[in-house]
Amino acid sequence: MNLIVQKYGGTSVATPELIKRAALRIVSLKKKGYDVAVVISAMGDTTDRLLNLATKITDRPSGRELDMLLSSGERVAMALLSMAINSMGFPAISFTGSQSGIVTDTVHTKARIKAVRPYRVQEELKKGKIVVVAGFQGVSPEHEVTTLGRGGSDTTAVALAYALGAEQCEILTDVDGVYTADPRIVPRARKLDAISYDEMLELASSGAKVLHTRSVELAKQYKVLLHVRSSFNENPGTIVKEEEKQMEEILVRGIAYDDSEAKVTIREVPDRPGVAARIFGSLAQANINVDMIIQNVSDSGTTDMSFTVPESELLQALGCIEKLRTEMEFKDVVADNDIAKVSIVGLGMRSHSGVAARMFQALAEKGINIEMISTSEIKISCVVRRPEVEEAVKALHKAFELE
Ligand code: ADP
Ligand code: ASP
Ligand code: MG
């Protein structure tokens, strides 16, 4: 029988009433003859509240204990949803990430799925049950509970959809699909009917949190068809799929922004081979994700080096750099968390020129200063002052005629 994996995000299951509504939707899919496996997020802002609770205890909680804490949110939701489905007369059973065979590496709070061995899920599906799986969590080879990073339930859903051979993975959320920009910032943003994996990957990794970046990576790698749609209506949403020829005709598919990064500048680093390798090697060893990097060489034999990291990892990054101070003999290190990144993404950039100039012009017209620039084949990103980023998104949305 055909199987569909549905994932419900936090807003879609924020109250008992909404959980019952989700259960009704799941049951109606089952009645249509599908096997259904559901991945669920924690209710509403549960994960934020749990994180906040931890800060009341300590400002340096261990990753292991954070994972024990955060994973409990999804556990509550999965049990309630399973109860709701059962009480409608349809047999359901809930499983934690570990029980579902979601095996990850050992990097607490941002673990990566390494394997999915969903034997118990398959067994229960075979019995005709609806299976509810806790999103965002897994288990390491050392039997420790791990979580996949904020928004990680999308990744659980895609990994499970692939492992179960699902026909489709539906991401049910609080917007009608993937838009040309975050509809909360740009009210005139348009819903896209389809988007390629590569464009979605760039948008997600540039801050469009409608999908977890790793979920798009996995969907692309394993060719899982993703349907992002609203849990609050039956409208068709956005299909994320393999690129088609005519997709290249669109210059800019969408705009994303990220205000969760911080910039670190190391001043007057000696300009000699091996310095960058040492600095970024040390950050990599601490599992810190470095995003943009720029280096300004001066003629005095030293260089200034700036890079961005997630704001949540800023203190840790500064710690790594401080440890290198005597060895590197740099002058000082400065942190700046009043920055944000705005990015434009589109397959059409491969074959059209002048896109960067148009982007810079649109920002200049608003008096927005660009501090860092990075590009890929289908993306251009600029770092700007954080208070200016929303205006930047709106200006670019207009400049590239996305309205
Ligand atoms: P869920 O809890 O369902 O996982 P998220 O809050 O993680 O939902 O993601 C949905 C949100 O993503 C939307 O409410 C929207 O504000 C935001 N978002 C950012 N960029 C986009 C975009 N390009 N298209 C749609 N939504 C976007
Ligand atoms: N509950 C987790 C979070 O808020 C995971 C998710 O919702 O996808 O980040
Ligand atoms: Mg999400």
Note the pLDDT tens digit of each residue in 32-87.
Answer: 999 999 999 999 999 999 999 999 999 889 999 999 999 999 999 999 999 999 99
Ligand 3 centroid to Cα of residue 115, in Å, is 22
For residue 95, what pLDDT is reported?
A: 98
In this predicted structure, the answer to whether residue 239 has a pLDDT above a threshold of 70 is: yes
> Which ligand ends up closest to the CA of 11?
1
Report the C-alpha gap between 175 and 182 in whole angstroms: 10
Q: Which residues of 127-138 are buried (b: 16+ CB within 10 A; e: fewer)?
A: eebbbbbbbbbb
The SS3 of residue 299 is coil
Mean pLDDT of 13-39: 98
For residue 251, give the nearest of 362, 127, 352 by alpha carbon.
352
Element (H, E) at 319: helix 314-323
Greatest Cα pair distance, the chain, in angstroms, is: 76
Taking the centre of ligand 3 as the mean of its atom positions, its distance from the CA of residue 91, in whole angstroms, is 27
- Residue 129 carries which side chain, given as an amino acid letter? K
pLDDT at 154 over 80: yes
**Residues within 5 A (CB) of ion ligand 3:** 9, 151
Looking at the CA of residue 73, tell me the nearest atom of ligand 2. Answer: 1
Q: Edge-to-edge, what's the strand order for the sheet holding 302-310?
A: 293-297, 302-310, 261-270, 332-336
Pocket of ligand 1 (CB under 6 A): 9-12, 41, 151, 173-175, 178-179, 181-184, 208-210, 254
Mean pLDDT, range 295-315, rounded to an integer: 90
Distance separating alpha carbons of residues 390 and 67, to the nearest angstrom: 32
DSSP 8-state secondary structure symbol assigned to residue 121: H
250 Cα–ligand 3 center, Å: 26
Cα–Cα distance measured from residue 83 to residue 61, given in angstroms and rounded to the nearest whole number: 33
What pLDDT does residue 17 have?
98
Helix (H) or strand (E) holding 82: helix 63-87
Tokens 């065979």 map to which residue?
101
Protein fold of 3-174: Carbamate kinase (3.40.1160)
As a whole number, the mean pLDDT across the chain is 96
What confidence score (pLDDT) does residue 298 get? 74
The pLDDT assigned to 116 comes to 98
pLDDT computed for residue 82 by the predictor? 98
Confidence class for position 296, pLDDT limits 50, 70, 90: confident
Top mutation candidate among 19, 169, 175 for ligand 1, by most atoms within 8 Å of CB: 175
**Rounded CA gap, 266 and 276, in Å?**
11
Q: Whose CA is nearest to atom 10 of ligand 1?
A: 210
Contact 350, 213 (CB under 8 A): no
Helix (H/G/I), strand (E/B), else coil: 311: helix
Sheet with 254-258, edge to edge strand ranges = 254-258, 339-345, 379-385, 372-376
**Where are the chain's structural domains?**
3-174
Q: Which atom of ligand 2 is nearest to the CA of 45?
A: 4
Q: List pLDDT tens digits, range 183-225.
A: 999 999 999 999 999 999 999 999 999 999 999 999 999 999 9
Distance (angstroms) between ligand 2 centre and the Cα of 137 equals 10
The residues pairing with 334 across neighbouring beta strands, listed in sequence order, are 265
Mean pLDDT calculated for residue range 97-119: 97
Hey, how many other C-beta atoms are within 10 angstroms of the C-beta on 2?
Answer: 11
Closest CA to 149 of 159, 135, 163: 135
Cα–ligand 2 centroid distance for 76 (angstroms):
13
- Position 300 scores a pLDDT of 83
Q: For residue 1, what pLDDT is reported? A: 65
Question: Which residues does a 6 A CB cutoff place in the pocket of ligand 2?
Answer: 9-10, 41-42, 47, 73, 135-136, 150-153
Atom of ligand 1 minimally distant from the CA of 172: 3
Number of H helices, E strands in the chain: 12, 20
